[in-house]
Structure formats: structure tokens, C-alpha cells
Structure 1
Amino acid sequence: MTELNLILLGPPGAGKGTQGERLTASEPLEYIVTGEILRAAVREASELGLQAKGYMDEGQLVPDELVIGLILERVRAEQATDGFLLDGFPRNIAQGEALDGALSQLGRDLNGVLLIEVPDEEIVRRLSGRRVSSSGRIYHVEFDPPKVAGKDDVDGTDLIQRDDDKPDTIRKRLAVYHEQTAPLIGYYEERGLLHRFDGTAPADEVEAHVRKTISTLRLEDAV
């Protein structure tokens, strides 16, 4: 396999970012996180970045074709010669179809979609337990609690729960995921691209399973 082109899929809080960072630390894959490339393009004031900034400044969603344009810039880059890992896009079937068409024009294909599955209530438990200090330090009331409940370990200031981490907000985000993004599971499964991972397992176990799957993909292509 001369290149390995992958998508990370799963609900918010499933651990996609953790697995993406671990995987690309040792695999020659360009890690393309859509939120980050949008912010980077705006900072760099590229042509596409300036267009995206116009939508963002008005509080509008950046059009799919513009996001795909930014993704393709990264796909064409020398760093992505051996492949890429895409996180945060596509978010619905229409975006998936548009991405397929754009990649096809470049003569490239997806090799696999890595789905990290975690039940909704576990997601709520993970995200709603987060607490943040005024300096940005992050704790978790269950998994990584501060030494004194509700207080920052360093300066003793009160910890807060961000609005995004409140249970009602998390459940709304999950509802959007199930309505808009989850249909991609069937879309990619029908094409034989989907690989499922139990996101409730420890991160090391999920990583080992992901790496085994990638090794299998490489071997299958070599046969």
C-alpha cells in the first residue's frame, strides 16, 4: 500500500482526538482535524482562509465546498504523500459523497473508516465530569479529581463546569450526531470500509486494536 487514507468517526467525547494523536505520532499520516485547519487557514490569511473567515465572522457555517478545498490543500501537501487521517469531516452523507468525489478527482481513495463507539450515557459521564480552572487546567470529578473538591491544585481558585460540558448541552450534541453523522456508519459499512472499536476500553487497548487493523489493511493491499 503506497498510501493509507483514513477517517476517524464517532460521537463527541469518544476519544477520537486521543487516538488520532497517538496514531500519527508514529504513522506517516497527515493528521487533518477540520476545526484546526479552518483556524490555521484564517490565521495564515490564505485565499480559502479569508473566504472562511467571512462566513465565521458572520456566525455562519463554512460551506462544505470550502471545507473540502482546505482539506484537499492538506491532502495534496508533501506531508500527506503516505496518506492522511481525517477527523471531524465528513459530518453527514452529503459531505461524505462530496469528499468521495473530490478525492476521486485526485486519483485517491479511502482505505478505511475507524469508528470509535461509546454509549451516550458514558459520553455524558465523561464530558459532564470535566472541571476547568481559570488558568485552563482541566480536571475530572471521577477520573482525575483535584486534591480539594472544586478547587484548582495550583492556585486554589474555584473550578467551573463549562456550558459545553453540561449534561443537557452534551445530549443535544449527541442528538445532532445521531441525526446527521451516524448515517455515515451505514454508508461506509456498505462499501466495506468500516472498522469498529470499543471506545469504552482503556485508551491503550483501543490504540492496539486500531494499529492491528491498520497492519491488516496494509497486508491485504500487499497480497
Structure 2
Amino acid sequence: MRLILLGPPGAGKGTQAQRLVERHGIVQLSTGDMLREAVRNQTPVGLRAKAVMDAGQLVSDEIVIGIISDRIDAADCQNGFILDGFPRTVAQAEALDRILAEKGLKLDAVIELRVDQTRLLDRIMGRAADARSRGEPVRKDDDPEVFKTRLEAYNRDTAVVSPFYAQTGRLVTLDGMAPVDEVTKAIAGVLETV
């Protein structure tokens, strides 16, 4: 099972991805984690990425796509994976389609968690308050100003990926504002049809 979860920060992608990992025994692939691992393992793509990052620049689509391509070949991805943080642009989505086709693979589902962005800040502040009440550290991205910046970046750069998948008939949109267990059930319903 190969999936993409789309939606703005705070939509619940991480929570749902973790549930899918546990239920289906697939791997959650975070581009940030993969990038750091490739650099740490000094893979050819990792070395290129390190040089770019050391120069204080953003890693190019070419490098990110190379890391994704290498990572989905790993043994733990044979049962499937959930892409987290990728694709962020239409160019990355098109490249992913090419990579998967070259490998004889396809996406089983592209699921967007649609949310009311005006209510997301309340959700994030609630998540931070819950963490504090449990004595846990608050995630850096749960700071209201950091969150607003991330949301602006999503709307500016990444929101275009959903229409790309909608045009190809592969996008399924679910209510990300529903209670967590209802969202999990809705995703399970989508996956029963693939």
C-alpha cells in the first residue's frame, strides 16, 4: 500500500499516518528524516544534499526526488509506505509519478484531510496546552507564530498539489475536522476500495 496524505499543518496527517503504520505495517517516510539519514549514511545523494545544506541553501527537487527514489527501494518499503512532506510541489508530484512508473509501482491512494483553516490555530493551541498539562514538551511548530508561518508557506507553495491529484482523479478528500477516530474510519473506508 503506497499512500500520500495531504493537508495543511495541524490537519492531523501525523496522527493518521501513525495509525496507518500500526494497522498496516507500512513505513511512514518523512522527507526531512530521509534527508538527514542520507547525509548521515553519506550516500551519493546525501553527500550532494550535505554540500547544499552546508552552503545554507535549500535542497533542490532533484536531490529530494533522488532521496525518495533511493528510500522506496529499501526492504522495509516493500509492503508499502506513506509519504509525509512529499510531494510539496506539482513538479515533485510529477517526478514521483515517473519514479513509481519506472519501478513498476503506483500510488494506491492520495488522501487530503480538508480542514477549516480559521479553526486550525485553536486546534494547535489546544494540542500545545494538552502537551503542557501532561508535562511533555510543546512542539516548536505548535507556537502560534511558527504555525502561522508554516500555514502561509503551505498555502503559497504546497496547496497546489491537491488540485494536481484531483485532475488525475486520484484525490480523495476527507473531513479533517471530524474527531480523530472518525477520520481514521473514513481513511479505512477509502483503503478498502483500493
What is the TM-score normalised by the length of structure 1? 0.78
Max radius of gyration: which structure?
A: 1
Deviation of 1:22 after TM superposition, in Å, equals 1.0
Unaligned runs of 5+ in 2: none
Deviation above 4 Å: which 4+ runs of structure 1? 159-162
Deviation of 1:128 after TM superposition, in Å, equals 3.9
Deviation of 1:144 after TM superposition, in Å, equals 5.1
Structure 1: distance between partners of 2:125 and 2:51: 33
Identity %: 42
Show the counterpart of 2:133.
Answer: 146
The counterpart of 2:74, out of the listed 34, 52, 77, is 77
Structure 1: distance between partners of 2:149 and 2:8: 12
Structure 1: distance between partners of 2:139 and 2:59: 28
> 1:104-123 maps to which residues of 2 (within 5 A)?
104-123=101-120
State whether structure 2 residue 167 is matched by structure 1 residue 213. no
Structure 1: distance between partners of 2:138 and 2:101: 46
Total equivalences in the alignment: 194
Which amino acid is the alignment partner of residue 85 of structure 1? Answer: I
Secondary structure (helix, strand or coil) at the match of 2:177 reads coil
Deviation of 1:129 after TM superposition, in Å, equals 4.8
Structure 2: distance between partners of 1:25 and 1:161: 22
Show the counterpart of 2:89.
Answer: 92
Relative to structure 1, is the Cα distance of residues 113 and 161 closer, same or farther in structure 2, using a 3 angstrom cutoff?
Answer: closer
Secondary structure (helix, strand or coil) at the match of 1:76 reads coil
Structure 1: distance between partners of 2:160 and 2:73: 28
What is the TM-score normalised by the length of structure 2? 0.88
Which amino acid is the alignment partner of residue 159 of structure 2? Answer: A
Show the counterpart of 1:135.
Answer: none
The counterpart of 2:43, out of the listed 43, 46, 50, is 46
Deviation of 1:160 after TM superposition, in Å, equals 7.8
Which amino acid is the alignment partner of residue 63 of structure 2? Answer: L
Secondary structure (helix, strand or coil) at the match of 2:86 reads coil
Relative to structure 1, is the Cα distance of residues 144 and 82 closer, same or farther in structure 2, using a 3 angstrom cutoff?
Answer: closer
Deviation of 1:46 after TM superposition, in Å, equals 2.1
Higher helix share: 2
Q: CA offsets per residue over residues 135-174 of structure 1, 9 Å max, x none?
A: xxxxx33x45538xxxxx59xxxx8895x44434322321
State whether structure 2 residue 185 is matched by structure 1 residue 198. no
The counterpart of 1:184, out of the listed 149, 158, 161, is 161
